[in-house]
């Protein structure tokens, strides 16, 4: 989880304990007393509890100073703790020396530290949930924001609270291997199962092993080279051919136009014939078959303009909850995503794009899906003899390149110099310019301009 999420959660109202918030003063005192009596107890507590988990201000300050002492390698006892609190002018705030001395009175002789830590952590989660809900009620009553924006951000905050409750202690590879790979053969079997969602282009899949869950895959090209066609081609492969659930956020093109493109891609009917209403009996049969395929595919399209990542995440989360599945999210395109409110302080577009990319990364992680986002290249490659794009050609390249897990450049020589040779015009490439977990390289494919379809070159062996 990024710090940005954490900051948003911390901004919820700090409700007072007088309002009856969940808390256990006894459990908190036992944890503090356990550290005073045996510094080794801090190893068990510090792994799962932080200062903000304590409901009472005095307990929070005491635990914070205990942490300072332990982090600096000093012992924690009544004398050192009082001295540390005094140094920060907090001794009277926490109740004075008498309060510190009385912490250990009346605690169980052999407290089960893990159980008391669980109680404190559980109460802290309940308080955070109440704070989030209280803030949501106030925002809803104010009526200054769209409901979807409020719901999206609140859902994200609640998800973070849920994830904070999942403990993941350090472990040795011996433990990890024991329950993940009982035998060396399992390593290979697990690797085979980790192959991602196919793109529909075999050479590309050989480079990337398919689209991996939690990855942000940036597909960048110049205008009119075929970026939206890439999105439609990927969606066709996943939803229509493989019956995988796909959410496509078309922030630029209407749902009607996306359907026309998909209909052409799924049939042998050219996009121009569909747009201009030129039908033959053969085309009609092909179109009927394609429409039946599309109608039965789990492909969900949203063409609402001006959406934030938070709103898209809220819609995708609901889709995943309702259908029980979500296998791919496509965003067309990055330039049309509205920056989060946290980016309002930025004056430069590059910084806004950085905030959007980080939010997309959190979205992919939260939804546990590969997320394909289309982006526009600058004109820099047009100034070179070799028009093949480079990472430096990305607009706001630093932030996009940094936060993307995979960067793919669809490329066609015919875009820059159209040939009279039909076969030459179909030749295309998918250039994998960046990949965190794999090689870079070029995948050869073909582009059928009349159908707006990127496909495997092996489907037309005569091309290469």
Q: What is the mean pLDDT of residues 258-285?
A: 91
Looking at the structure, tell me whether residues 121 and 69 fall in a common domain.
yes
pLDDT band at 124 (very low <50, low <70, confident <90, very high): very high
Q: Of 58-67, 137-146, 157-166, which range is least confident?
A: 157-166
Each residue's pLDDT tens digit, 351-372: 788 889 999 999 999 899 999 9
Distance between CA atoms of residues 386 and 382, nearest Å: 8
Looking at the structure, tell me whether residues 103 and 198 fall in a common domain.
no
Say if residue 346's pLDDT is above 60: no
For the chain, the average pLDDT equals 85
Each residue's pLDDT tens digit, 207-238: 999 999 999 999 999 999 999 999 999 999 99
Predicted TM-score (pTM) of the model is 0.69
Task: Quote the distance between the C-alpha of residue 41 and its chain's center.
Answer: 36
Q: Is 36 exposed, middle or buried (0-12, 13-18, 19+ CB in 10 A)?
A: buried
Runs of H (alpha helix) within 271-427: 271-276, 281-295, 309-323, 349-367, 397-403, 413-416, 422-426
Looking at the structure, tell me whether residues 230 and 357 fall in a common domain.
yes
Q: What pLDDT score does 241 carry?
A: 95
Looking at the structure, tell me whether residues 124 and 42 fall in a common domain.
yes
Q: Is residue 187 part of a domain?
A: no
User: Where is pLDDT greater, at 6 or 422?
Assistant: 422
Looking at the structure, tell me whether residues 389 and 242 fall in a common domain.
yes
Q: Is 89 exposed, middle or buried (0-12, 13-18, 19+ CB in 10 A)?
A: exposed
Say if residue 280's pLDDT is above 90: no
Peptide bond into 333 cis (omega under 30): yes
User: Where is pLDDT greater, at 291 or 20?
Assistant: 291
User: Where is pLDDT greater, at 166 or 315?
Assistant: 315
Q: Is residue 118 part of a domain?
A: yes
Which of 149, 164, 179 is where one domain is finished? 164
The proportion of the chain whose per-residue pLDDT surpasses 90, expressed as a percent, equals 56
Q: Is residue 403 part of a domain?
A: yes
**357: containing domain:** 192-463
Contacts of 129 (CB under 8 A, 6+ apart): 158, 161
Each residue's pLDDT tens digit, 18-33: 557 899 999 999 999 9
Distances (CA, A) of 227 to 25, 220, 372, 418, 437: 59, 7, 11, 18, 24
Q: What pLDDT score does 277 carry?
A: 85
Give first-to-last CA distance, the chain, whole Å: 46
Cβ distance 369 to 328 under 8 Å?
A: yes
Looking at the structure, tell me whether residues 360 and 286 fall in a common domain.
yes
Query: What is the count of structural domains for the chain?
Result: 2
Say if residue 14's pLDDT is above 70: no
CA angle 233, 237, 240 (to 5 degrees): 110
pLDDT band at 347 (very low <50, low <70, confident <90, very high): low
Looking at the structure, tell me whether residues 327 and 396 fall in a common domain.
yes
Q: Where does residue 95 fall: left (phi above 0), alpha (psi -120 to 50 degrees), or beta otherwise?
A: left
Q: What is the mean pLDDT of residues 132-142?
A: 92
Q: Is residue 179 part of a domain?
A: no
């Amino acid at each position: 989880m990024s710090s940005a999420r954490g900051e948003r959660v911390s901004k919820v109202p700090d409700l007072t304990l007088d309002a009856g918030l969940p808390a256990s003063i006894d459990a908190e005192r036992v944890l503090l007393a356990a550290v005073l009596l045996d510094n080794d107890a801090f190893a068990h507590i510090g792994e799962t509890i932080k200062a903000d988990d304590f409901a009472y201000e005095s307990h929070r300050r005491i635990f914070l100073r205990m942490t300072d002492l332990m982090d600096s390698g000093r012992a924690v006892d009544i004398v050192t703790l009082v001295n540390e609190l005094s140094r920060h002018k907090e001794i009277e705030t926490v109740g004075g020396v008498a309060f510190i001395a009385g912490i250990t009175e009346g605690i169980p002789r052999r407290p089960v530290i893990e159980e008391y830590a669980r109680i404190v952590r559980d109460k802290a989660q309940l308080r955070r949930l109440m704070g989030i809900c209280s803030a949501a009620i106030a925002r809803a009553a104010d009526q200054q924001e769209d409901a979807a924006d409020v719901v999206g951000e609140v859902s994200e905050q609640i998800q973070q609270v849920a994830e904070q409750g999942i403990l993941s202690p350090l472990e040795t590879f011996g433990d990890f291997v024991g329950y993940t790979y009982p035998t060396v053969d399992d390593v290979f079997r697990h690797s085979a199962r980790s192959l991602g969602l196919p793109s529909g282009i075999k050479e590309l899949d050989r480079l990337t092993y398919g689209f991996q869950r939690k990855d942000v895959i940036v597909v960048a090209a110049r205008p009119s080279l075929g970026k939206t066609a890439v999105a439609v081609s990927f969606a066709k492969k996943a939803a229509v051919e493989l019956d995988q659930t796909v959410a496509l956020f078309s922030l630029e093109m209407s749902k009607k136009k996306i359907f026309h493109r998909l209909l052409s891609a799924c049939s042998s009917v050219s996009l121009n014939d569909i747009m201009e209403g030129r039908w033959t009996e053969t085309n009609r049969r092909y179109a009927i078959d394609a429409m039946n395929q599309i109608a039965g595919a789990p492909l969900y399209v949203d063409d609402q303009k001006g959406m934030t990542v938070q709103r898209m995440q809220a819609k995708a989360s609901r889709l995943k909850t309702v259908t029980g599945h979500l296998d791919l999210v496509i965003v067309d395109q990055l330039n049309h995503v509205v920056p989060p409110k946290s980016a309002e302080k930025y004056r430069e577009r590059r910084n806004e794009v950085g905030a959007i990319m980080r939010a997309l990364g959190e979205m992919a992680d939260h939804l546990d899906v590969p997320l394909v986002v289309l982006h526009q290249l600058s004109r820099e490659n047009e100034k070179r003899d070799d028009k093949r794009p480079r990472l430096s050609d990305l607009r706001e390249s630093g932030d996009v390149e940094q936060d993307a897990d995979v960067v793919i450049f669809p490329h066609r020589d015919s875009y820059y110099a159209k040939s009279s040779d039909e076969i030459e015009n179909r030749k295309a490439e998918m250039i994998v310019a960046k990949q965190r977990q794999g090689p870079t390289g070029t995948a050869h494919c073909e582009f059928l301009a009349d159908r707006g379809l990127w496909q495997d070159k092996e489907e037309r062996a005569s091309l290469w």
